[in-house]
């Protein structure tokens, strides 16, 4: 690695480095969540079952097109999180070396949008359990990590 790159990375405080690793892990878990949702959407339809009072198997028997549509929406939410998690991880890794303000804004958007979609779904259905509480806690950790790394980007140009 060239000397100029190592000095930029070494100028970070240990707290900022930890915050970056929190954001990197956040992106990885967002990507992993998206993959699981895309592969097993049935695991994530229980909120709709509690909300509507109808199981997905009953819904698929009576309204197969509606059940297919709900399945597609859940999988789309997973694909959305795969995209945001991958972008978030790439940008966090890239921002270790380049401290550009636009990278910071992409990290903010990836984190907020990546958690806003499932958290909004949970609020609409009104089902808040342990996985949903974990989403909120991780979202708060990511916001704290963003606040910690903000000084690195504050004086930089776009």
Contact 40, 98 (CB under 8 A): no
Q: What is the pLDDT of residue 126?
A: 77
Give the confidence band of 24 by pLDDT, cuts at 50, 70, 90.
very high
Question: Where would I find the H helices in the chain?
Answer: 3-10, 14-39, 46-52, 56-62, 64-97, 101-125, 130-154
pLDDT in tens, 96-137: 777 788 888 888 888 888 888 778 877 887 777 777 888 888
Cβ(92)–Cβ(105) below 8 Å: no
The domain segmentation of the chain, as residue ranges, is 13-34+78-154
Record the tokens describing residue 120, joined without a space: 């909004």
What band does 38 get if pLDDT is binned at 50, 70 and 90?
A: very high
């Amino acid at each position: 690695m060239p000397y100029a790159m190592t000095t930029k990375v070494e100028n970070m405080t240990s707290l900022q480095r930890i915050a970056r690793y929190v954001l990197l892990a956040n992106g990885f878990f967002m990507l992993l969540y998206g993959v699981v949702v895309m592969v097993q959407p049935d695991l994530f339809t229980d909120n709709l079952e509690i909300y509507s009072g109808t199981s997905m198997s009953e819904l698929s028997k009576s309204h197969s097109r509606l059940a297919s549509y709900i399945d597609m929406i859940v999988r789309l939410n997973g694909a959305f999180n795969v995209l945001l998690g991958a972008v978030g991880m790439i940008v966090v890794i890239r921002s270790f070396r380049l401290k550009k303000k636009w990278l910071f804004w992409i990290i903010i958007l990836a984190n907020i949008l990546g958690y806003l979609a499932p958290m909004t779904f949970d609020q609409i259905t009104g089902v808040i359990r342990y996985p949903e509480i974990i989403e909120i806690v991780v979202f708060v950790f990511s916001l704290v990590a963003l606040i910690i790394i903000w000084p690195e980007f504050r004086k930089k140009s776009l």
